[in-house]
Amino acid sequence: MPHAPTADVARLHRLTRHFATEAVQAGDVAAFPPPAALAELPPVELRRLLDGLLTIRPPREIPDDDVRADLDEMLAAESAQRVHDAGAPDALALPTLEATHGTPGPLGEHVALWRGDLTTLRAGAIVNAANAQMLGCFVPGHTCIDNVIHAVAGPGLRAECAAYMEARGGRPEETGRALLTAGYHLPAAHVVHTVGSIIEGGRPTDADRALLASSYRSVLDAVADAGLDSVGLCSVSTGEYGYPKDKAAQLVLATLADWLGAHPESGLRIVICAFADVDVAAYEIALAARGENAPQRA
C-alpha cells in the first residue's frame, strides 16, 4: 500500500482528522482516536490509518475543496515517488518475449513478461481483478490488486465505478466482461476492470476456462476500442478466486495469441505483470510448454 512522504506531516494530520471525523459522523466506524492521540502517532502509522479510512469509505462526495485538494496533492506525490522508485517502467519500453525468450510470431512481437508493481507502470491502461460489486475492496490493509489499485488511484476511481453500478441498477457485474475507467492518480491513463472466474477446489471446469478467457479478450477489446497503445495485465482470478497459476498462465498465453492472430493490424503492447517469483515461474513453464521458450539472450 502507498506510504506518504514525511515532508508534509501537517497535511497528513489534516486529512486523517477530517476523514476520521467524517467516518464517525457517517457511522462508518463507531469511534476513532481523538485529535490529541492522532498527533502522537508517527507519520507511517498516521498514513496507515488514513489508508484504512479511505478503504472503508463509501463512494460519496468530498464537499470540502481544501480537503479534496490536499488529498489529490498527497496521492499525486505518492504515486510520482512510487514510479520514480520503480525506475519509471514504461509498457512501450519493456522488451518483448521475442527479445527476452526468442518467442516467434505475434506473441513474441507484442507481449512482454515483466516482474514489477503494476501500479507503477506507465501504460494506456492496467487491468484490475475486480469483484462483482465493482467498488474495490473495503478491507483495510488487504493486499489484493483491487485494493492496491484503488488505494493508489484515490476515491475518484471508486466514485466512477459506483456511477457505473448505479446506472445498471446495482446488479452485480457479470464474469468475463470489462469496464474501462480513468486511471486518476495511477501512472496508467486508464484502468480496465474485469471479474474473473471463482474456482471451487482449485480445479477449473471448461466453463471456468471459457469465462477467464472471456475476461482477457474483453480487456483487449476494450483497450483496442479506446485506441490505447498498451495494457498491463494482472493475474486475474489466481489469488483468492482460486484459479491455479500454472493453468491460468497457459490460458492467458493462448488467449493472447488467439486475439493477436485475429487482430493482425493491432500495434498493442501487452505487458504481463508478474508480481512474484511464483508468477514468473508459471509463465516461464507455460512458455516452455508452448515450445516458445528459447534460451534467454544476453
Q: Distances from the Cα of 75 to the Cαs of 50, 55, 225, in angstroms? A: 12, 14, 29
pLDDT in tens, the chain (298 residues): 545 444 489 999 999 999 999 999 999 998 888 878 888 889 999 999 999 999 999 999 999 999 999 999 999 999 999 999 999 999 999 999 999 999 999 999 999 999 999 999 999 999 999 999 999 999 999 999 999 999 999 999 999 999 999 999 989 999 999 999 999 999 999 999 999 999 988 899 999 999 999 999 999 999 999 999 999 999 999 988 989 999 999 999 999 999 999 999 999 999 999 989 999 999 999 999 987 544 443 2
What's phi and psi for 135, nearest 5 deg? -115, 10
Quote the distance between the C-alpha of residue 133 and its chain's center: 16
Which pLDDT does position 219 carry in this prediction? Answer: 98
**Predicted local confidence at residue 297, as pLDDT:** 37
- Going from the C-alpha of 28 to that of each of 4, 5, 134, 165, the distances in angstroms are 23, 27, 19, 21
111-115 and 269-274 strand pairing: parallel
User: What is the secondary structure of 8-68 as a DSSP string?
Assistant: GHHHHHHHHHHHHHHHHHHTSSS----HHHHHTS-HHHHHHHHHHHHHH--S-----HHHH
Q: Give pLDDT, residue 5.
A: 47
What confidence score (pLDDT) does residue 296 get? 41
Which CATH number is associated with domain 97-289? 3.40.220.10
Q: What are the start-end ranges of the H helices in the chain?
A: 9-26, 35-39, 43-56, 65-85, 97-101, 105-110, 145-153, 155-167, 206-225, 245-262, 277-289
* Burial class, 238, CB count within 10 angstroms (exposed 0-12 / middle 13-18 / buried 19+): buried
Residues 6+ apart with CB under 8 A from 34: none
Sign of the dihedral defined by the CA atoms of residues 142, 134, 254, 112, in that order: negative
Q: How does DSSP classify residue 200?
A: S
Scan for cell 507455460, then name that residue: 286
| Per-residue model confidence (pLDDT) at position 295 | 42
- Parts of the chain belonging to CATH 3.40.220.10: 97-289
Residue 293 is predicted with a pLDDT of 47
Q: What's the maximum distance between 2 C-alpha atoms anywhere in the chain? A: 63
Q: Could you tell me the three cell numbers for 127? A: 487491468
Q: How far, in Å, CA of 202 to CA of 94, rounded?
A: 32
Q: Please identify which residue in the block is written with the cell numbers 496507515.
A: 48
Round to whole Å and give the CA distance between 119 and 134.
18
pLDDT for 40 equals: 87
